[in-house]
Chain A
Amino acid sequence: MSNKIQLELSQVGIDFPTPKGPFTALKDVNLKIAEGEFISLIGHSGCGKSTVLNLVAGLYQSTTGGVILEGQEVNEPGPERAVVFQNHSLLPWLSAYKNVELAVKQTQKGRSKQEIKEWVEHNLELVHMSHAADKLPSEISGGMKQRVGIARALAMEPKVLLMDEPFGALDALTRAHLQDSVMEIHAKLGNTVIMITHDVDEAVLLSDRIVMMTNGPAATIGEILPIELERPRNRIALADDTSYNHYRHEVLKFLYEKQRKVESVEDHRKQRQKNQSDLSSGRLKTGTNQE
């Protein structure tokens, strides 16, 4: 990890139109991310974590401020900011290999046939999925699908890898395996990573910095916690580590004391109305968790 700032969010804010006027989801988000850094975004449901990620991905456009990648403003999606979606979102009619191949063919047009094949195989190998290259997504488990999703994103050779709660839908054991794989890949490739998570342990284990978000509306960054644990990190060794537990405690304190969230019925109703209006304007993601 160098100290060069690669990605910058500057005064980022976003309003969503609703029938009752604009709804301010994010306000004054400022963040500088160095090349090769692993950042986790953590916060309660509905605080706008996914919105931040979608802004960086270019899938949403900010109302105020902007996202700057290597000196250039981001205003449309592109392969240099590859996304690993929560629900893997592999094309169900293509095999694992073909899914990765589509991304390679599309993003690296200079490669020869042989180079494409090697690069696809290399990326499947990286996520330990070579054995299931010819399987359709419906024929492999959730964890395996997510591995292929990561391989597809990595195959685009992204400057920044964006992961939207990549392991949210997986069971605890599978999640642990995938976390280890992600640490291994990050150590090997040194990509800049922004990951959304709900899981405090996951955030502490994987991140260089944890970005904790306040509750919406007009959510913003509450605190940033640098994690100075040595890499490579081992989950079993860290379980008894005092500094690990200190970091964990800090995050929990932020989430459950400083930003305690009791969902009232009124809030729930508002949230539903918002979702409905999003749906009617066609913005709602079809995934299960709308942040």
Chain B
Amino acid sequence: MSRQAAITFMSAKTKLVNFSSVKASLASAILPVLGLLVFIGLWNMLAKNIDTSLGQFPGTSAVWEQAQVLHQEHQTQQQKAEAFYERQEKRNADRVAKDPSYQPKIREFTGAPTFFDQIWTSLYTVMVGFFMASLIAVPLGIVCGLSRSAYAAINPLIQLFKPVSPLAWLPLVTMVVSAVYVSDDPMFSKSFITSATTVALCCLWPTLINTAVGVSSIEQDLVNVSKVLRLNAIQHVLKIVLPSSIPSIFTGLRLSLGIGWMVLIAAEMLAQNPGLGKFVWDEFQNGSSESLARIMVAVLTIGIIGFILDRLMLQLQKWVSWDKSTAMR
């Protein structure tokens, strides 16, 4: 082969490689969009053919319309609230001007919570429940992973309570919270505590199990290093155990948060506690011709928020973990 020919051959080869890599990146960009489009097409096609007692099943346009309506309702409600507080302030100012000894009272705006208020309530509740569970599950998981006896003692409880549906707990939690959390000026509402506790009860298990497995599968050599260095128990946990089990702890945390989010919606529906679940249930009970579209908005919102929560956890894991390869999944 002449030199010239060799160079042409080489450049042809690079072009080929470039082309295939472009093709690959194009495919990775297009395929998800394609999947989404096919889903939307099927949805609209099927929706037309489903007639319910509340009218036709909503297609994309109906859902989009209701999403905008929900947004408007939220804005109107906010304006109402602002106006309410303005009127109240003015009234108070007037009364103080007439009678300086008057102590002005501020009353809360009592309008019905909008869709966006419900989203916020749900997010806040799931986060609190998730943190409560993690604060218990991670240390307990470490203890179980380090000590065979602790694991043997706790394992039956894990096996017993792990498969229990959170909704079975719900009545018990509700009654216990009503009985125990008695206060004249409660910092949190009872419904919030009930929901958060129910979420926590379900978030415990995946974190606990994954932490225990991660801790118990630390390389024996690393444990031996710790022994040769004579690290004490606390140093051993902080310097060897925790860093080495961070990847599995996070696997557990991500599973827990996902489960917690699913459970919360169901719990809110059943217990009529404020949140997205209650929104769905209220719309269902309301039974107007727009209800199904509004529920569909809620369903998609729940999905998107769940997805974002998972991505946030993944980002956190990438940030904390030394093992960048496991964080990619």
Q: When the two chains form the complex, which single residue of B148, B224, B229, B323 contacts A102, counting CB atoms closer than 8 Å?
A: B229
The answer, yes or no, to whether B221 is at the interface (CB within 8 Å) is yes
Q: What residue in chain B is nearest A82 (Cβ atoms)? A: B228
Question: Does A85 contact B224, Cβ atoms closer than 8 Å?
Answer: yes
Q: What residue in chain A is nearest B323 (Cβ atoms)? A: A92
Question: Does A92 contact B228, Cβ atoms closer than 8 Å?
Answer: no
The answer, yes or no, to whether B219 is at the interface (CB within 8 Å) is yes
Residues of chain B lying within 8 A (CB to CB) of residue A156? 228-229
The answer, yes or no, to whether B243 is at the interface (CB within 8 Å) is yes
Known: A89-B222, A93-B243, A102-B239. A83 touches B322 (CB 8 A): no
The answer, yes or no, to whether A65 is at the interface (CB within 8 Å) is no
Residues of chain A lying within 8 A (CB to CB) of residue B148? 282
Give the CA-CA distance A286 to B216 in the complex, in Å.
12
Question: Does A87 contact B240, Cβ atoms closer than 8 Å?
Answer: no
The answer, yes or no, to whether A166 is at the interface (CB within 8 Å) is no
Q: How far is the CB of A289 from chain B (nearest CB, A)?
A: 12
Question: Does A89 contact B322, Cβ atoms closer than 8 Å?
Answer: no
The answer, yes or no, to whether A1 is at the interface (CB within 8 Å) is no
Q: How far is the CB of B158 from chain A (nearest CB, A)?
A: 20
Question: Does B229 contact A83, Cβ atoms closer than 8 Å?
Answer: no
Chain A 266-291 interface 0/1 with B at a Cβ cutoff of 8 Å (1 = within): 00000000000000001011110000
Q: When the two chains form the complex, which single residue of B220, B230, B243 contacts A106, counting CB atoms closer than 8 Å?
A: B230
Give the CA-CA distance A284 to B221 in the complex, in Å.
10
| Interface size, chain A (Cβ < 8 Å) | 27
Q: How far is the CB of A67 from chain B (nearest CB, A)?
A: 15
Residues of chain A lying within 8 A (CB to CB) of residue B228? 57, 77-79, 81-83, 156
Q: How far is the CB of A56 from chain B (nearest CB, A)?
A: 12
The answer, yes or no, to whether A107 is at the interface (CB within 8 Å) is yes
Residues of chain A lying within 8 A (CB to CB) of residue B322? 92-93, 136
Chain B 75-92 interface 0/1 with A at a Cβ cutoff of 8 Å (1 = within): 000000000000000000
Question: Does B224 contact A83, Cβ atoms closer than 8 Å?
Answer: yes
The answer, yes or no, to whether B231 is at the interface (CB within 8 Å) is yes
Range for the number of chain B residues in contact with chain A: 10 to 19
A contact patch SS: loop
Q: How far is the CB of A29 from chain B (nearest CB, A)?
A: 21
Give the CA-CA distance A285 to B225 in the complex, in Å.
13
Chain A 55-70 interface 0/1 with B at a Cβ cutoff of 8 Å (1 = within): 0011100000000000
The residue among B224, B228, B229, B235 with the most chain A CB atoms within 10 A of its own CB is B228
Give the CA-CA distance A91 to B228 in the complex, in Å.
14
Give the CA-CA distance A77 to B227 in the complex, in Å.
6
Chain B 274-314 interface 0/1 with A at a Cβ cutoff of 8 Å (1 = within): 00000000000000000000000000000000000000000
Give the CA-CA distance A287 to B230 in the complex, in Å.
21
The residue among A82, A91, A103, A287 with the most chain B CB atoms within 10 A of its own CB is A91
Chain A 97-131 interface 0/1 with B at a Cβ cutoff of 8 Å (1 = within): 00000110011000000000000000000000000
Residues of chain B lying within 8 A (CB to CB) of residue A79? 228-230
Give the CA-CA distance A82 to B230 in the complex, in Å.
11
Q: What residue in chain A is nearest B228 (Cβ atoms)? A: A77
Question: Does A85 contact B225, Cβ atoms closer than 8 Å?
Answer: yes
Question: Does B225 contact A91, Cβ atoms closer than 8 Å?
Answer: yes
Known: A93-B243, A102-B239. A285 touches B230 (CB 8 A): no
Give the CA-CA distance A285 to B218 in the complex, in Å.
11
Give the CA-CA distance A61 to B213 in the complex, in Å.
27
Q: When the two chains form the complex, which single residue of A58, A103, A284 contacts B229, counting CB atoms closer than 8 Å?
A: A103
Give the CA-CA distance A99 to B1 in the complex, in Å.
54
Question: Does A78 contact B222, Cβ atoms closer than 8 Å?
Answer: no
Question: Does A77 contact B221, Cβ atoms closer than 8 Å?
Answer: no
Q: When the two chains form the complex, which single residue of A58, A81, A87, A102 contacts B221, counting CB atoms closer than 8 Å?
A: A87
Q: How far is the CB of B147 from chain A (nearest CB, A)?
A: 12
Question: Does B224 contact A78, Cβ atoms closer than 8 Å?
Answer: no
Q: When the two chains form the complex, which single residue of B220, B222, B224 contacts A91, counting CB atoms closer than 8 Å?
A: B222
Q: How far is the CB of B219 from chain A (nearest CB, A)?
A: 5
Residues of chain B lying within 8 A (CB to CB) of residue A89? 219, 221-222, 224-225
Question: Does B221 contact A286, Cβ atoms closer than 8 Å?
Answer: yes
Residues B242-276 near A (CB distance < 8 A): 243-244
Residues of chain B lying within 8 A (CB to CB) of residue A59? 224, 227
Q: What residue in chain B is nearest A81 (Cβ atoms)? A: B228
Question: Does B240 contact A91, Cβ atoms closer than 8 Å?
Answer: yes
Residues of chain B lying within 8 A (CB to CB) of residue A85? 221, 224-225
Q: How far is the CB of B44 from chain A (nearest CB, A)?
A: 49
Question: Does A106 contact B222, Cβ atoms closer than 8 Å?
Answer: no
Q: How far is the CB of B298 from chain A (nearest CB, A)?
A: 42
Q: What residue in chain A is nearest B232 (Cβ atoms)? A: A106
Residues of chain A lying within 8 A (CB to CB) of residue B243? 91, 93
Question: Does A106 contact B221, Cβ atoms closer than 8 Å?
Answer: no
The residue among B148, B229, B239 with the most chain A CB atoms within 10 A of its own CB is B229
Q: How far is the CB of B248 from chain A (nearest CB, A)?
A: 14
Q: What residue in chain B is nearest A83 (Cβ atoms)? A: B228
Sample (8) of A-B pairs whose CB atoms are under 8 Å apart: A58-B227, A59-B224, A92-B323, A93-B244, A102-B239, A107-B230, A284-B220, A285-B221
Q: Which 7 A-B pairs have the closest CB atoms?
A: A93-B322, A89-B221, A77-B227, A93-B243, A106-B229, A77-B228, A286-B220
A interface residues with partner B (beta carbon < 8 Å): 57-59, 76-79, 81-83, 85, 87, 89, 91-93, 102-103, 106-107, 136, 156, 282, 284-287
Known pairs A77-B228, A78-B228, A81-B228; list 10 more (Cβ under 8 Å): A57-B224, A57-B228, A82-B228, A83-B225, A89-B222, A91-B225, A93-B323, A106-B231, A286-B221, A287-B221
